[in-house]
């Protein structure tokens, strides 16, 4: 008997799990300023005050070469943004080399535009609290490789669609001030990333949080509820090269790229779906938490605990040393479901082996190869993992697992979950205090289940995302 009935659409269920975006209509006393030309738009921006809402008429606007739409020295407030919006979603199309160029501004919202420019849109470090929402991004393939670069603190990128790129480059790059700083508290949510078909070996990530020189800087970015489809420009759909970030509740489907903690420390990867693509989750660096993720049908390596060319990155490294891999130390990998992947859980063979990693209460199911194929490790803790299928156990230590049929059933959303008679129910033993719920949003409680799913009879609050849940037209 199926454990849940999929009673609600994914869009409705998702609304229970995350608050709706605030209204873009401005404050009750906002002045609405309609404009229908680039000249009118620039004059309205120059005179804008907190709470003003500049509404750009539908049409195509080509910014002349050497020009831009400048937003300089304009400051809204936390409760009265200055909003620049297209009259209808996607109706105002911006072409030319440059579109909006920001400097020394804060609390600005840019919404509803179709961006077709050829050079990078930057949110510089001189700004703060900038929001890009409900826009459609498809820059010229022959233009700059980076589409949006964020260096400003407290900014938001949400409900946008980034799509159709065939060349090397990145949809969103997060950097910061100077050569080592990171933008603080960036929130990237409810975006749709699709159809990056660059065929090179690397260099086409949808999101890159930092770069090797910034790896030791904490960013505290949150990347959540985003959908990635056919993102084939790199082995990394989300490339993390900084510290103290959270990557959660995203869906990566039918994509070459996975989630890679390439540089940095203390990152948390939680509640993500990686389905029917190539790569899963790969981690380097120290003190990460990998919790409640669902990895299914991947043709590459599902979960890689990385080895390093160095033990730990440090501020005294050369540039070449910083670009190397930092061995994974002190990660906690708990309550993940790795189901029917070509490579389930594996390691690597660089000089420095991973150390002091906890691998507990995970569900590993496969029908070919080895479920665990680790290289050298030191002081690993393997605890109450469950394995099943015709794949061999591999080199998982004998005391670190049980072999039993988890009795999975497939829901209407395609997700395999525990059925009522599963031996995984109540069998988890790690009891990690920072794992309060499961991938569906069900509370874990004190008697926890093995894998990403906690058995429940109520409808799930979270599901794999679809195009209806993200992008400019989503709730």
Q: Is 64 inside any structural domain? A: no
List CB contacts of 107: < 8 A, sequence separation 6 or more.
Answer: 50, 75, 76, 77, 78, 80, 81, 82, 128, 129, 130
Q: Longest C-alpha distance within the chain, in Å?
A: 72
Q: Is residue 109 over pLDDT 60? A: yes
Q: Is residue 423 over pLDDT 70? A: yes
Q: Which domain holds residue 406?
A: 159-469
CA distance 288 to 327: 12
Note the pLDDT of residue 19. 37
Burial of 325 (0-12, 13-18, 19+ CB in 10 A): buried
Q: Is residue 376 over pLDDT 50? A: yes
pLDDT digits (tens, 9 = 90+) for 190-230: 999 999 999 888 899 999 999 999 999 999 999 999 999 99
List CB contacts of 431: < 8 A, sequence separation 6 or more.
Answer: 446, 448
Q: Is 73 inside any structural domain? A: no
Average pLDDT, the chain: 93
List CB contacts of 397: < 8 A, sequence separation 6 or more.
Answer: 380, 382
Note the pLDDT of residue 200. 87
Q: Is 33 inside any structural domain? A: no
Please state the domain count of the chain: 1
- Under a CB-based contact definition with an 8 Å cutoff, are residues 417 and 408 in contact? yes
Q: Is residue 375 over pLDDT 70? A: yes
pLDDT digits (tens, 9 = 90+) for 239-278: 999 999 999 999 999 999 999 999 999 999 999 999 999 9
Note the pLDDT of residue 29. 54
CA distance 319 to 238: 23
Written as six digits, the tokens of 107 are: 């609390």
pLDDT band at 432 (very low <50, low <70, confident <90, very high): confident
Q: How many helices (H) and strands (E) does the chain have?
A: 3, 43
Look-up of token digits 């994974």: 328
Q: Is residue 113 over pLDDT 70? A: yes
pLDDT band at 439 (very low <50, low <70, confident <90, very high): very high
Q: Is 412 inside any structural domain? A: yes
Show the CA angle centred on residue 472, arms to residues 470 and 475, nearest 5°: 60
pLDDT digits (tens, 9 = 90+) for 3-38: 443 333 333 333 333 333 334 444 445 789 999 999
Q: Is 347 inside any structural domain? A: yes
Q: Is residue 236 over pLDDT 80? A: yes
Q: Is 407 inside any structural domain? A: yes
Note the pLDDT of residue 321. 86
pLDDT band at 405 (very low <50, low <70, confident <90, very high): very high
Q: Is 376 inside any structural domain? A: yes
Mean of pLDDT values over 76-87: 97
Q: Is 290 inside any structural domain? A: yes
Written as six digits, the tokens of 446 are: 């004190």
List CB contacts of 58: < 8 A, sequence separation 6 or more.
Answer: 86, 87, 88, 91, 92
pLDDT digits (tens, 9 = 90+) for 287-302: 999 999 999 999 999 9
Written as six digits, the tokens of 357 are: 């990693």
CATH number (domain holding residue 370): 2.160.20.10
pLDDT digits (tens, 9 = 90+) for 134-180: 999 999 999 999 999 999 999 999 999 999 999 999 999 999 999 99
pLDDT band at 79 (very low <50, low <70, confident <90, very high): very high
């Amino acid at each position: 008997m199926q454990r849940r009935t999929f009673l609600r659409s994914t869009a409705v269920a998702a609304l229970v799990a995350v608050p709706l975006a605030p209204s873009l209509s401005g404050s009750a006393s906002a002045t609405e300023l309609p404009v229908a030309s680039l000249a009118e738009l620039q004059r309205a921006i120059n005179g804008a005050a907190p709470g003003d809402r500049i509404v750009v008429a539908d049409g195509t606007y080509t910014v002349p070469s050497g020009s831009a739409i400048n937003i300089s020295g304009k400051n809204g407030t936390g409760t009265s943004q200055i909003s620049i919006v297209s009259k209808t979603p996607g109706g105002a199309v911006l072409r030319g080399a440059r579109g909006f160029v920001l400097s020394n501004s804060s609390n600005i919202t840019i919404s509803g535009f179709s961006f077709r420019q050829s050079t990078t849109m930057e949110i510089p470090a001189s700004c703060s609290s900038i929001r890009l929402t409900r826009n459609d991004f498809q820059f010229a393939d022959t233009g700059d490789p980076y589409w949006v670069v964020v260096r400003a603190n407290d900014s938001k990128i949400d409900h946008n669609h980034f799509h159709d790129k065939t060349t090397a480059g990145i949809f969103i790059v997060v950097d910061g001030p100077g050569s080592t700083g990171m933008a603080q508290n960036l929130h990237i949510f409810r975006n749709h990333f699709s159809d990056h078909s660059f065929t090179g070996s690397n260099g086409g990530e949808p999101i890159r949080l930092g770069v090797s020189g910034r790896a030791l800087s904490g960013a505290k970015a949150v990347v959540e509820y985003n959908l990635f489809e056919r993102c084939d420009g790199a082995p990394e759909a989300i490339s993390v090269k900084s510290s103290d970030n959270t990557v959660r509740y995203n869906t990566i489907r039918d994509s070459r790229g996975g989630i890679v903690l390439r540089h940095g420390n203390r990152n948390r990867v939680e509640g993500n779906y990686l389905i029917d693509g190539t790569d899963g989750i790969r981690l380097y660096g120290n003190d990460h938490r990998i919790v409640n993720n669902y990895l299914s049908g991947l043709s590459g390596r599902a979960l890689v605990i990385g080895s390093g060319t160095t033990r730990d990155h440090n501020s005294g490294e050369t540039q070449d040393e910083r670009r190397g891999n930092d061995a994974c130390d002190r990660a906690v990998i708990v309550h993940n479901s790795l189901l029917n992947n070509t490579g389930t859980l594996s390691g690597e063979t660089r000089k420095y082996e991973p150390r002091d990693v906890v691998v507990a209460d995970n569900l590993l199911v496969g029908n070919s190869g080895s479920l665990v194929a680790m290289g050298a490790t030191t002081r690993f803790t393997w605890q109450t993992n469950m394995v099943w299928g015709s794949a061999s156990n591999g080199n998982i230590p004998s005391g670190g697992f049980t072999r039993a049929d988890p009795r999975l059933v497939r829901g209407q959303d395609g997700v395999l979950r525990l059925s009522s008679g599963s031996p995984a129910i109540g069998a988890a033993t790690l009891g990690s205090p920072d794992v309060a719920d499961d991938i569906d949003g069900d509370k874990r409680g004190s008697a926890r289940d093995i894998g990403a799913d906690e058995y429940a009879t109520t409808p799930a609050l979270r599901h794999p995302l679809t195009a209806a849940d993200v992008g400019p037209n989503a709730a």
